[in-house]
Structure 1
């Protein structure tokens, strides 16, 4: 019997830890399948998608820079992917390719254990206005979060996110300076930019001076596990959430789209943390 094939397409993709966690999940659930990395240049994206059909690859994850560009080559996308304008998961249904996006819901799943109130009672600040911010904003808005504000260096990009979301949610756009001066207004602060990862490991998007101890501070970066931003939050007595959780949950939700089964997220997390040399942040 030939194992089913899954994988991840991106450029670059050699650093991805997705094969380790998905292959572990296949093994744990006794599913005869294997997951590979597929480096795909932008010019070859359409051919790669045709290859998914031709080779009978059962499903793939899509990462940078293909999440938006892949959409025209698919047969359908679900409502969440349509709202976000991006796909991170493709399911091959007998040659018909359907796209999904699990990033936003993956983030929500990762942060829920840290919340001591319902989402409807939470006031949230998202720092950044890129693709990750758009996905998280959309997911939080559709989950009926009480308030979701956006802070970005370029306000027009943040306004574009607000205008593209159909969910009725209390929101406003503020500058990074305004965000730094209004930290006490928020229960949850989410850092979605690349600031804090290589080559900007020592940088922070804003200072957290004056933040209320106990505030939940989240960074979607997972390498390093504890960014300088999270280190500062911890010094101020905040509860911190690394990006490992979002990475694991978006992967687990992709896995469920492919197989109908939810993998062991704790086992997945252990693999990632071992490889990163980190430890669970509580």
Structure 2
């Protein structure tokens, strides 16, 4: 089974390691290749991938929306979000899916199932591509309120429009306002790239209470500065490698039609 990943930059990606393990789990020969490409070569590389005998491929930043015109179909979930992270070749068509949000929700639900009961409130930090998938997936759950904080209000408001459930309230505000409001939320989700291999945090958690769960989708480092702030305030944390593994699991199951597990991979990453 030939698989791959297109994006830029991606040399640091853990995806080849993850999918190698999945292939071993189902006793399948295969390879997972990185197609790191800058924007001016994107069309050429996509065509190369489509002619290369691949069963499918992943798409990461900055191409989750760029890829759409190159596909024959989108499933309803990817169409609603307007972003694709998984492409499958089936019935002679290239079909786009999005497993980011679904993978995120499953990862959090497995660790903190109590968050998904009762009238809980969520704050999402950021309004980019990852936030779109996560926000839409969370809107399918039974939360009372899901707010969005972002640097620019235009993007936050555009994201808010993905919420089609009247029973879930959504407000938008700046990061500065979010710092004041963090004590109001049961789950806080950091979806920006801030903190990736750097000692930075998107905002201060000085007003955080110890009853919150604080989540960061950044997985390098495993415990970001943002999550360390949360730990210092006594809050529970949820780390980004879990979303990485669950979205990969869902993608691989679409390619292979077989069930795989992430338990051993989780243990391996947490040793590092």
Provide the residue aligned with 2:138 in structure 1.
Answer: 140
Question: Is 2:254 the counterpart of 1:267?
Answer: no
| 1:120 CA drift (Å) | 5.6
SS in 2 for 1:9: strand
Q: How many residues align?
A: 270
1:17 touches 1:272 (CA, 8 Å); kept in 2? no
Q: Deviations for 1:81-114, whole angstroms, at most 9, x for unmatched residues?
A: 1111111000011431000000111110111121
Quote the RMSD (CA, aligned, Å).
1.7
Query: Unaligned 5+ residue runs, structure 2?
Result: none
Identify the match of residue 201 of structure 2 among 185, 200, 204. Answer: 204
SS in 2 for 1:8: strand
User: Closer, same or farther in 2 for the Cα pair 1:117/1:227, shift >3 Å?
Assistant: closer
Provide the residue aligned with 2:18 in structure 1.
Answer: 21
Find the aligned partners of 1:103 and 1:71 in 2 and give their Cα distance.
16
Provide the residue aligned with 2:99 in structure 1.
Answer: 102
Provide the residue aligned with 1:155 in structure 2.
Answer: 153
Find the aligned partners of 2:74 and 2:195 in 1 and give their Cα distance.
32
| 1:67 CA drift (Å) | 0.9
Find the aligned partners of 2:270 and 2:34 in 1 and give their Cα distance.
20
Aligned pairs for 1:1-282 (under 5 A) are 4-112=1-109, 113-118=111-116, 121-168=119-166, 169-198=168-197, 201-274=198-271, 277=272
SS in 1 for 2:139: helix
Find the aligned partners of 1:129 and 1:53 in 2 and give their Cα distance.
30
Q: TM-score, normalised by structure 1?
A: 0.90
| 1:55 CA drift (Å) | 2.1
1:119 touches 1:146 (CA, 8 Å); kept in 2? no
Q: Deviations for 1:145-204, whole angstroms, at most 9, x for unmatched residues?
A: 321000112122101111244343211012222211222211001111122123xx2222
1:5 touches 1:57 (CA, 8 Å); kept in 2? yes
SS in 2 for 1:257: helix
| 1:30 CA drift (Å) | 0.7
User: Closer, same or farther in 2 for the Cα pair 1:117/1:269, shift >3 Å?
Assistant: closer
Q: TM-score, normalised by structure 2?
A: 0.93
SS in 2 for 1:195: coil
Find the aligned partners of 2:49 and 2:81 in 1 and give their Cα distance.
23
User: Closer, same or farther in 2 for the Cα pair 1:120/1:255, shift >3 Å?
Assistant: farther
Query: Unaligned 5+ residue runs, structure 1?
Result: 278-282
User: Closer, same or farther in 2 for the Cα pair 1:102/1:270, shift >3 Å?
Assistant: same
